[in-house]
A and B are shown apart, each in its own frame.
Chain A
Amino acid sequence: MEKSNKKQQKHYLRRDILRIGGGVALSAPFVGRAWAQTTEINMLAWYGHGEPDMVGAFEEANNVKFVPKYYAGGDNMLALIAQSPPGTYDIILSDGEFVQQLNAAGYIEALDPNDYPFEDMLHEDFTKFPGHWDGDTLYSMILRGGHLGVSYNTTAMSAEEASSYEGFWKPELKGKVGHFDWHLPNLGMMSLKNGNGAGLWDLSGDQWQAVQDTTMSLRQQVGGFFDYGGTFNGLKNGEMLAMCGIGDWITGVLERDGAPVASVIPKEGGIQFTESYCIGKGSSKADLVKSFIQYMLSPEGQVKSAQMLAYPGFCVTKGGRALLQQVDPKEAKRSHQMDGMPNDPIALINEGRIHYRDIPQQQSLEDWNDFWSEYKNA
C-alpha cells in the first residue's frame, strides 16, 4: 500500500514537472514579448540620477528601464558625448554651465517651453536660466540645484568662524582643511574671498594673480585633495575638519546619518551648481524622455530629487517644495527649504549671495587647471 502511494507520488511529481515545464515553455514567448516591450532609455548623468530611488517609480509606471552612464565633471560629460555616435544618449543631465557647449556642438534637441511648469518656478532666474536658452529657444530644463560654501565639522569650527572663507585659515585647522579635487569650485571660492562677488569668473590678469596668491596662502593648511569618496570619508572620520569646494551635496548625506558636519554660505557669497535635463540629439525616445522630465518637475519628482540618496539638491518648483515640507519636514528643515529659515536657498539667491557656477571668462580652463596642478605640488 505504502509502496503504491510512493509510486503514485512519484507519478504525480513527474506529471507536475511536465505540467509546470510545459507551462513555462508555452508562456516563454509571452514573457519574452513582455520583456521586449520594456524600452531602454540611455541616460548620461552624475552618479545617483539613474538609481532606483530616482527613476524606479517612473520605470514601473511606464515600463521603461534607464541605462545610466555616469560621469564625473562637465568636461568628462562632453568628452563622453563627443566620443559616442549621435543618438547614443536619450537624456543628458548636465551642469548648467555646460549646456551652452552641448548646444553649440549640436548634441541636444530644442525643447518646447510649453511642456514644462515655468509658472511654478521658485525663482525668476530659473525660468530664464543663463545658458539654457538660445534666444527664445529652450535647450535644457532646470531640475535642481545646490549651494557650495564652507563645509565644516561643527565640533571644530563655530558657525561664526564658518561664516567667512577666512575660517579655512584658522591656525587650529592646519593640515585639516581638505579640497574637493576640482579647480573650478575651489578657485571660485578663493575668487569670492578676494571680493570679486558677481565677477568671480570674469577675472582680469591682476585679479587672477590675486586669486592664485590667496589660494597658495592656504596650501599650508591643506591636508589633502579628495574625490567624492575621499571627501566623504575624510569628513566622516574627522581627518578633515573643513572642506573647500563642496557644500550640502556631500555634508547633507553625512548629516542625515547624524555626523557633526554642516555647510554654510559665507558672507562673501556662495556658488550654485545647477543640474538640468537635456534631450539627446537624434534620440528615438524623445517623447518618453519628455514625460520623464515632466515627472521629475512634478511635485513628486522634485521630492525624489531633494531626497536623492547619492546627494541632495534643492527643489526648484513651488509644488515640489510644498510637498517636501508636507511629506518629509525633517529633510525640508535640514536643507533649509522652509520660508524664513537662515540659509534658505531661495532667500540666499534673493539676497544676491549666490553666484551660478560658470567657467573662467578671461582665462582658459587649462590655465586654471595648470595652476591647480602647481598648487597641489606646492
Chain B
Amino acid sequence: MSAKHKIDLYALTWRLPIILWQLIFFVGPVLFMIAISFFVVKNYRMTEAFEFVNWQRMLTRGYFWDSYWYTVFIASLSAAIAMFLAFPAAWALAFRASENLRRWAVFLLIIPFFTSYLVRTFSWYVILAESGVLNAMLGYVGLGPYKMLNTHFGTIVGYLTLTLPLAVILQTVTMANIDKTLVEAARNLGCKPLATIWRVVLPLSKTGFVVTALFCFILAFGDFVAPFYLGGSQEPTLPILILDTTKSGQQWPRAAVVAIMMMLTLFAVAFTAIVLAYRKPKGAR
C-alpha cells in the first residue's frame, strides 16, 4: 500500500508540470475566452456582462457561415492535397532510401521551418505573381500568364508551404516503422504495387496517416497568413473574420465567439479522427 502511494507521488511529481502548464496556458485562457464571449463593448472598452448578444449576432450572420464552410472546405482540401503529394516522397524515403539518406532527407525537410513562415509566404509573391518566375517559365512553352496570387490556388500553396514538409516527415516516420517483411510477403504472393499500398501499407499506417492529416487540417484551419497574403482575403476564412471583427469597433467578444466555434470544430474533427485512427477493423481482437 505504502509502496503504491510512493509510486503515485513519484508519477504525479513528473506529471505535475505538464498539468500545471495545461491549466495555466490552455484551460485558463479558454475559460477566459468563453467568459469574454458574453461581455459587451461600450465605447471601445470591454465591459463585464453575461449577455448572449454576441452569439446571437455572429451566428445569425450569413457571412459568418459563409466563412465557416469555406474555411472547413479549403482546410480539408489542403490537407487532402498535402497527404496526396507527400505520399510518393514518403514512400520512397521509407522503402527505397537507405537509412542515411532518409536521415538527411528528414533533416532537409526540417530546414524550411528555420525561416519564418511569413517570410516563406512572402517569397511566393516573386514566384506566383503574373510577372513572376512561374509564369515566366510557363511563357517559354507558350502558356499563361495565369493569375495565381489572390486566388484559392494561392491560399492552397500557402497552406502547403506550412503543411507539406510536415506531412512528408510524419508519413515517412509512419511507413518506416512498418514491418517490411509484410510488404515483401505481399509482393511475393503476387500482390501488385498499388494493391500492396492499398491493402497492406495503408492499413498498417492508418493511425499515423490519420494523425498526419489531422495536423495538416488543424494548421490550415487556423492559419491567417496564407489566405490573407496569398489568397487576397477572398473569401475570408475564420481567422481573417476574427481580425475584421476586432479591427472595427474592437469587438473582441464577437471575435471570441468565432474563436470558440473554431475550437469546437477542431475538437469534433480531432475526436472523430482519433476514433477512426484507433478503431480496430471488424473481427480484429
Chain A contacts to B: CB under 8 angstroms: 72-73, 75-76, 78-79, 82-83, 101, 105, 175, 178, 181-183, 222-227, 230, 233-234, 237-239, 365-366, 368-370, 372-374, 376-377
Q: Return chain B residues, CB-CB under 8 Å to A227.
A: 228
Q: Return chain A residues, CB-CB under 8 Å to B233.
A: 181, 224-226, 376
Which of A72, A101, A226, A372 makes the CB contact (< 8 A) with B232?
A226
The interface residues of chain B, by DSSP majority, are classed as: loop
B129 touches A376 (CB 8 A): no
Instruction: Kindly state whether residue B67 has any CB partner on chain A within 8 Å.
Output: yes
**Interface 1/0s, chain B 229-252, versus A by CB < 8 A?**
101111110000100110111110
B150 touches A76 (CB 8 A): no
A377 in contact with B63 given A82-B43, A224-B150, A237-B131 (CB within 8 Å): yes
A233 touches B125 (CB 8 A): yes
B131 touches A78 (CB 8 A): no
12 examples of A-B residue contacts, CB within 8 angstroms? A79-B250, A105-B43, A175-B147, A226-B233, A227-B228, A230-B228, A234-B150, A238-B130, A372-B248, A376-B235, A377-B63, A377-B66
B251 touches A239 (CB 8 A): no
Q: What residue in chain A is nearest B254 (Cβ atoms)?
A: A366
B234 touches A222 (CB 8 A): yes
Instruction: Kindly state whether residue B282 has any CB partner on chain A within 8 Å.
Output: no
7 nearest interchain CB pairs? A224-B232, A369-B248, A224-B150, A225-B233, A79-B250, A78-B44, A377-B66
Instruction: Kindly state whether residue B213 has any CB partner on chain A within 8 Å.
Output: no
Q: Return chain A residues, CB-CB under 8 Å to B244.
A: 181, 369, 372-373, 376
Which of A72, A101, A181, A377 makes the CB contact (< 8 A) with B235?
A377
Smallest CB separation, A239 vs chain B (Å): 5
Smallest CB separation, A283 vs chain B (Å): 20
Given A73-B247, A230-B229, A368-B248, 15 more pairs with CB closer than 8 A: A75-B247, A75-B248, A105-B43, A182-B247, A223-B232, A224-B232, A225-B234, A239-B129, A239-B149, A366-B248, A366-B251, A369-B244, A370-B61, A376-B63, A377-B62
Which of A73, A233, A376 makes the CB contact (< 8 A) with B236?
A376
B44 touches A239 (CB 8 A): no
Interface size of B in residues (CB-CB distance below 8 Å)? 33
Instruction: Kindly state whether residue B187 has any CB partner on chain A within 8 Å.
Output: no
Chain B contacts to A: CB under 8 angstroms: 43-45, 61-63, 66-67, 70, 125, 129-132, 147, 149-150, 228-229, 231-236, 241, 244-245, 247-251
Q: Return chain B residues, CB-CB under 8 Å to A366.
A: 248-249, 251
Q: Return chain B residues, CB-CB under 8 Å to A222.
A: 234
Smallest CB separation, B156 vs chain A (Å): 16
B45 touches A82 (CB 8 A): yes
Q: Return chain B residues, CB-CB under 8 Å to A75.
A: 44, 247-250
A365 in contact with B45 given A224-B150, A239-B150, A377-B235 (CB within 8 Å): no
B229 touches A183 (CB 8 A): no
Smallest CB separation, A12 vs chain B (Å): 47
A79 and B129 alpha carbons, distance in the complex (Å): 37
A338 and B67 alpha carbons, distance in the complex (Å): 48
A183 touches B125 (CB 8 A): no
Q: Return chain A residues, CB-CB under 8 Å to B63.
A: 370, 373-374, 376-377
Smallest CB separation, A242 vs chain B (Å): 14
Q: Return chain B residues, CB-CB under 8 Å to A233.
A: 125
Smallest CB separation, A212 vs chain B (Å): 13
Q: What residue in chain B is nearest A175 (Cβ atoms)?
A: B147
Q: Return chain A residues, CB-CB under 8 Å to B150.
A: 223-224, 234, 239
Q: Return chain B residues, CB-CB under 8 Å to A82.
A: 43-45
Q: Return chain B residues, CB-CB under 8 Å to A79.
A: 44-45, 250
Q: Return chain A residues, CB-CB under 8 Å to B251.
A: 366
Smallest CB separation, A171 vs chain B (Å): 16
A376 touches B234 (CB 8 A): yes
Q: What residue in chain A is nearest B148 (Cβ atoms)?
A: A239
Smallest CB separation, A353 vs chain B (Å): 27
A377 and B241 alpha carbons, distance in the complex (Å): 10
Q: Return chain A residues, CB-CB under 8 Å to B232.
A: 178, 223-226, 230
A239 in contact with B249 given A82-B44, A105-B43, A370-B61 (CB within 8 Å): no
Smallest CB separation, B64 vs chain A (Å): 8
Smallest CB separation, B40 vs chain A (Å): 12
Smallest CB separation, A118 vs chain B (Å): 30
Which of A105, A175, A238 makes the CB contact (< 8 A) with B131?
A238
A224 and B125 alpha carbons, distance in the complex (Å): 14
Smallest CB separation, A188 vs chain B (Å): 14
Q: Return chain B residues, CB-CB under 8 Å to A376.
A: 63, 233-236, 244
A366 and B251 alpha carbons, distance in the complex (Å): 9
Q: Return chain A residues, CB-CB under 8 Å to B70.
A: 377
Smallest CB separation, A83 vs chain B (Å): 8
Smallest CB separation, B235 vs chain A (Å): 5
Of B45, B150, B251, most buried by chain A (CB within 10 Å of CB) is B150
A370 and B57 alpha carbons, distance in the complex (Å): 10
A374 touches B62 (CB 8 A): yes
Smallest CB separation, A226 vs chain B (Å): 7
Smallest CB separation, B96 vs chain A (Å): 41
Q: Return chain B residues, CB-CB under 8 Å to A234.
A: 150
A297 and B245 alpha carbons, distance in the complex (Å): 36
A222 and B233 alpha carbons, distance in the complex (Å): 11
